[in-house]
Amino acid sequence: MDPDCIFCKIVQGEIPATVVFKDQQVTAFRDLNPQAPLHVLVVPNRHVANTEALVPEDDALVGSLVRGARQVARQAGVAEGGYRLVFNTGADAGNTVPHLHLHVLGGRRLGWPPG
């Protein structure tokens, strides 16, 4: 854990958040600035800065993030209609918190291109 990381503090329960899913690998909570009716962040329970910091030993962790996102979509009732999964890496992508996180967006028709 990174003691200065806001997402690490959410995972540890030090900062309140609306947690919608949690298991041994990942925690999912509602985004404070939602861009869709469903906007949840799925984060690893251990600190990983971003996709550039991933190593081959993290392959199972990435799978856990995606399966956690699928669970969130199913719980929210958007799995059948569709949902979007987004990783942002770096400032140009709009990443503002240096802790790997997967956005789960759904609940309305999402446009393309996204940005």
| 10-residue stretch averages of pLDDT, the chain, 115 residues long | 94 97 98 96 98 97 98 98 97 95 97 85
The domain limits of the chain are: 6-106
The CATH homologous superfamily of the domain defined by 6-106: HIT-like (3.30.428.10)
Can you tell me which residue has the tokens 């199972």? 60
E-strand stretches of the chain: 19-22, 26-30, 38-44, 83-87, 102-106
pTM over 0.75: yes
Q: Which residues are catalytic?
A: 101
**Residues shown for the chain:** 115
Q: Round to whole Å and give the CA distance between 74 and 113.
A: 24
**Which residue stretches of the chain are H helix?**
6-11, 59-76
Query: What's the pLDDT at 21?
Result: 98
Query: What's the pLDDT at 67?
Result: 98
